[in-house]
Structure 1
């Protein structure tokens, strides 16, 4: 698998990005937005209470279809590809694990800080204006859906330096051990239900490890018939474990908490990705598609984090509007979905313009030193509210506490410090960037020879 760059991340190495990976991530993001627009269905009951229905989940035909549209494993596979490439470049340039953790935390936490702070303020104002507390809680809970992904993705990405070292020594053994841990937790979850949450780390690290294997060419060396056989075999194994009743066939149920089925699905999706690569790569290089991917990629996390709160708010307002409201799942409801998706995209455009810059990194991000103790403290501060939200769900109070914790972590890491930007343009900053570029070029040549 010929890979490069950091997928949707911005920075000085964008020239090395793998266009096929960018395109796959964009397709996954679109599928998530469209899928969620068909799931979020608030219902206003005669007594004035509001609940939400997952329309797709109650459709008889949906369960087998979700095997195709459950793209979370593919997100983590591509995250493994781009994460390992980023870590190898930084390491070749003389960087440290603490620098890598700092950059990853800031990349993911800064956009989330803006979301949590805005929602905490907005929902507090809504409560003061008389909006029913049940509705406020429903909105706060809805924000937890994109944040669980952030928690799992952070847990996987921050472990990349350790997992990359294990991968370098024994790639297949590392994947095997992670998968064995997943199975062990699955076996014990009946007796110890809370233990299942540990698989938020084990499952997604195992899926991420598939991306590591892809970087080093373990899958691209297979023939097309071999890749097709691997994809079919993974789906057959998935059918076997669900058919025997070992796991549920509904991948949405298997997602929370995650289990072995998602690792198997990750193998199938990686095989399909490699099969489609001869089509994806040239398609991603088409002029207008390339420009679209560049713009969307630089705002992808912002779009992901904000789409559900915006969708929930829009759906709630429509409940109060004097317009026809077709019942969930009816023909009229289905015909309204394209309009809902279009409205969601229009709402996301100004949000991405306003907050998307928080995803951007300074050009000297990796050149800035970071003490391990500072990076470790920031990780702890971030995961305090994240763990609470994963175990107990989000409330208005936790939204505010999470915003504060995330802001503290960003300040610890200097993510809003103007001094870092000055360093980037100072003589010392220029020397640091020149050193990084020189070392990175050597590293990329070495890595390229190993992944082609």
Structure 2
């Protein structure tokens, strides 16, 4: 099978850290926090129960806005860029797919383990203090939204070594095969609804492949007219399939389980990112922006996992106070979203300071040995079981505690990540030096390549 040909990015360019990735990821994260602040609106009733209204979803103008601001595919595109670069770097040092899985698992599940443990403990204390069980379940369900993303993102990242092999042999054929699988699943989901969840793998891996193509310079060597044509074409096709009711027009409805619409959005967003990259890099070069991103960008998973539980908890506590609360959907309520957003960001600061260190890449002495392959595989299974259960059946207080225990067991199984000591054979080193393409980062440029 021959590798598809397209212009390769130069080694010097590929080795440089792309500041646009950090800035775009940070901006998308702020947008996610802001959107969630516009969704939560709890109401406390006389019997102690609480109901919530998803105000944003009830607004008629939200459907076209969600089309433009559904940035979840962009997270997977960026994850594809950084994931491929990290894998190639690890492989050049003598690492293998199990080493990659170990690093990725630890970086993603350690912050999640802390969140689940703290939530489980806090909600059990609230239950013992007499808080209505319905309120407890409502707050528990609030953690399910970050977990579905964790499940999808983790699955896509664990596939990087395998998908990178396919990509290096035939990138376009690999991408086309994933598109065919997506369409097949979408065509059969009416007869077999459970089959739709297979696209949690196919859709996000396909979007991640767009990041692979971006990392290898495929989009960089396309003209502005070509990029604009891709943006227009993908959105026209998206409008066609939603206009004839093949898919819902609401992109939030399309996201879980995902379908072809999310891939079309991912294609449009990748081309848009490439089109705007020069301006984004200029903005990312501003010193004070660099300082913010240098701190917050390396704690992105902590921010993502904690912001919604903090928002739900803060909203619940406000119900117990005498502070006047505007009716959901009124002008006063919309203006109140500004202080709510600022309050959540303020609460995130100490959380990031306390738990953000769990995102740091753990290393051990160079002579240390990593876990066995069986331990890595077992850790993957142990992590995915509670996450998949939450995605399919919803999160309960018992599952919250069970998930924390499973994540802790996985961390124990994985242990600390040994510093790679294996070097590629001498012939391979020579081949790597001659290769026209290298996306391995220079020393000290790791921050946005391992997230």
State TM-score, norm by structure 2: 0.90
CA distance in 2, matches of 1:43, 1:442: 66
Task: Please name the residue that 1:385 is paired with.
Answer: 386
Task: Please name the residue that 1:138 is paired with.
Answer: 138
Shift of 1:449: 3.6
Kept in 2, the 8 Å contact 1:92–1:443? The answer is no
CA distance in 2, matches of 1:393, 1:107: 24
Equivalent residues in 2 for 1:357-376 (5 A)? Answer: 357-363=357-363, 369-376=370-377
Decide whether aligned partners of structure 1 residues 87 and 364 sit closer, same or farther in structure 2, where only a CA change above 3 A counts: farther
Shift of 1:451: 6.5
User: 1:369-423 deviations in whole A, cap 9, x for unaligned?
Assistant: 44221111110111110111111010000000000000000000004xxxx6xx7
User: 1:251-273 deviations in whole A, cap 9, x for unaligned?
Assistant: 00001111110000000000100
- Does residue 231 of structure 1 match 2:231? yes
Shift of 1:61: 0.6
Task: Please name the residue that 2:395 is paired with.
Answer: 394
User: 1:345-385 deviations in whole A, cap 9, x for unaligned?
Assistant: 11100000010000001355998544221111110111110
SS in 1 for 2:52: strand
Equivalent residues in 2 for 1:251-290 (5 A)? Answer: 251-290=251-290
Q: Structure 1: state its 5+ residue gaps.
A: 5-14, 424-428
Kept in 2, the 8 Å contact 1:303–1:348? The answer is yes
Task: Please name the residue that 1:9 is paired with.
Answer: none
Shift of 1:54: 0.9
SS in 1 for 2:221: coil
Shift of 1:445: 6.5
SS in 2 for 1:51: strand
Kept in 1, the 8 Å contact 2:371–2:415? The answer is no
Decide whether aligned partners of structure 1 residues 73 and 38 sit closer, same or farther in structure 2, where only a CA change above 3 A counts: same
Equivalent residues in 2 for 1:423-434 (5 A)? Answer: 432=420
CA distance in 1, matches of 2:77, 2:129: 44
Kept in 1, the 8 Å contact 2:254–2:261? The answer is yes
Task: Please name the residue that 1:97 is paired with.
Answer: 97
Decide whether aligned partners of structure 1 residues 351 and 443 sit closer, same or farther in structure 2, where only a CA change above 3 A counts: farther
Equivalent residues in 2 for 1:323-334 (5 A)? Answer: 323-334=323-334
Equivalent residues in 2 for 1:108-187 (5 A)? Answer: 108-187=108-187
SS in 2 for 1:24: helix
Decide whether aligned partners of structure 1 residues 451 and 399 sit closer, same or farther in structure 2, where only a CA change above 3 A counts: closer
Which stretches of structure 1, 4 residues or longer, exceed 3 Å deviation after superposition?
Answer: 1-4, 45-48, 363-370, 432-436, 438-452
Decide whether aligned partners of structure 1 residues 33 and 140 sit closer, same or farther in structure 2, where only a CA change above 3 A counts: same
CA distance in 1, matches of 2:313, 2:382: 29
CA distance in 1, matches of 2:249, 2:435: 40
Task: Please name the residue that 2:106 is paired with.
Answer: 106
Task: Please name the residue that 2:209 is paired with.
Answer: 209
User: 1:141-165 deviations in whole A, cap 9, x for unaligned?
Assistant: 0100001000000000001111011
Task: Report which structure shows greater RCO (CA 8 Å, sep ≥6).
Answer: 2
Kept in 1, the 8 Å contact 2:140–2:395? The answer is yes
User: 1:302-359 deviations in whole A, cap 9, x for unaligned?
Assistant: 0100000000000111112101111111000011011000000111000000100000
Task: Please name the residue that 2:301 is paired with.
Answer: 301
Task: Please name the residue that 1:66 is paired with.
Answer: 66
- Does residue 37 of structure 1 match 2:37? yes
Kept in 1, the 8 Å contact 2:95–2:422? The answer is no
Decide whether aligned partners of structure 1 residues 133 and 16 sit closer, same or farther in structure 2, where only a CA change above 3 A counts: farther
Task: Please name the residue that 1:189 is paired with.
Answer: 189
Kept in 1, the 8 Å contact 2:23–2:284? The answer is yes
For these two proteins, the number of residue pairs brought into alignment is 430
Kept in 2, the 8 Å contact 1:216–1:451? The answer is yes
Decide whether aligned partners of structure 1 residues 159 and 439 sit closer, same or farther in structure 2, where only a CA change above 3 A counts: farther
Decide whether aligned partners of structure 1 residues 281 and 49 sit closer, same or farther in structure 2, where only a CA change above 3 A counts: same
State TM-score, norm by structure 1: 0.90
- Does residue 407 of structure 1 match 2:408? yes
Shift of 1:40: 1.1
CA distance in 2, matches of 1:284, 1:173: 34
Kept in 2, the 8 Å contact 1:111–1:356? The answer is yes
User: 1:41-77 deviations in whole A, cap 9, x for unaligned?
Assistant: 1122354421111111000111000111111000000
Bigger proportion of residues as helix: 1
Task: Please name the residue that 2:446 is paired with.
Answer: none
- Does residue 350 of structure 1 match 2:350? yes
Task: Please name the residue that 1:54 is paired with.
Answer: 54
SS in 1 for 2:42: strand
Decide whether aligned partners of structure 1 residues 244 and 214 sit closer, same or farther in structure 2, where only a CA change above 3 A counts: same
